[in-house]
């Protein structure tokens, strides 16, 4: 079968190349396309590009390896693209878009955490604390909650957070006391 004088294999291949280039552009400028697509919620550019890619790739392959008619190949390619696109959406895109995991932290989440003083906290002054977390070391300004001096290397407990400053008190871990005494 030919359309506009081109064999179907060529049309599938041309479509595949063009959609491949559009996919590369989407990778670089995807935020703009997603902003446009937000106004029409059922049109996801990633799904549209994936559908056309899957359709043209399966059509191209089936034109070469089967002796089915072009109309049958188009129908089968549409079904394959629809099924794979649906699976991509259900098992990849929806879980990624709903993932709430973030590498950031909030100041409120630091309350109750134990850290170590790396710059001593003077009376009525500020020092620095580091807190180990899953994302690495968090370094913040620290002040004494009870207005006392806290020496370098001392473990402290974060009591309060105000204006980006962690107010801390010296912390003694019961396990450390049992092992040292």
pLDDT tens figures, 93-114: 878 776 655 556 677 778 889 9
User: Tokens representing 100?
Assistant: 């709430």
pTM of the shown model: 0.54
Looking at residues 60-79, what average pLDDT do you find? Answer: 94
Cβ atoms within 10 Å of 147's Cβ, excluding its own:
11
Radius of gyration for the chain, computed over Cα atoms and rounded to the nearest angstrom: 30
So what's the pLDDT on residue 44? 78
So what's the pLDDT on residue 120? 93
Could you tell me the pLDDT band of residue 35, with boundaries at 50, 70 and 90?
A: low
Looking at residues 135-150, what average pLDDT do you find? Answer: 88
Q: Answer whether 128's CB lies under 8 Å from 141's CB.
A: yes
State how far the Cα of 93 lies from the Cα of 16, in Å rounded to an integer. Answer: 22
So what's the pLDDT on residue 181? 44
So what's the pLDDT on residue 175? 56
CATH 2.40.50.140 residue ranges for the chain:
108-171
So what's the pLDDT on residue 178? 47
Of residues 40 and 53, more confidently modeled: 53
CB-based contacts of 50, cutoff 8 Å, min separation 6: 84, 85, 88
Which CATH fold topology does 108-171 show?
OB fold (Dihydrolipoamide Acetyltransferase, E2P) (2.40.50)
Long-range contacts of 63-67 (CB under 8 A, 24+ apart): 63/8, 63/9, 63/12, 64/9
Beta-bridge partners for 140: 129
């Amino acid at each position: 079968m030919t359309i506009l004088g081109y064999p179907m294999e060529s049309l599938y291949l041309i479509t595949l190349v063009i959609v491949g280039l559009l996919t590369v552009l989407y990778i670089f400028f995807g935020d703009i396309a997603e902003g446009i697509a937000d106004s029409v919620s059922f049109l996801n550019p990633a799904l549209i590009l994936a559908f056309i890619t899957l359709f043209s790739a399966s059509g191209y392959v089936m034109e070469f390896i089967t002796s089915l008619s072009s109309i049958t190949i188009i129908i089968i390619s549409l079904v394959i693209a629809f099924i794979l696109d649906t699976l991509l959406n259900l098992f990849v895109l929806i879980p990624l878009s709903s993932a709430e995991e973030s590498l950031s932290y909030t100041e409120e989440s630091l309350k109750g955490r134990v850290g170590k003083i790396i710059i001593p906290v003077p009376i009525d002054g500020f020092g620095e604390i580091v807190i180990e977390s899953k994302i690495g070391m968090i370094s913040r300004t620290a002040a004494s909650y009870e207005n006392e001096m806290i020496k370098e290397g001392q473990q402290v407990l974060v009591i309060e957070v105000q204006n980006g400053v962690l107010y801390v008190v010296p912390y003694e871990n019961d396990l450390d006391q049992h092992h040292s005494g």
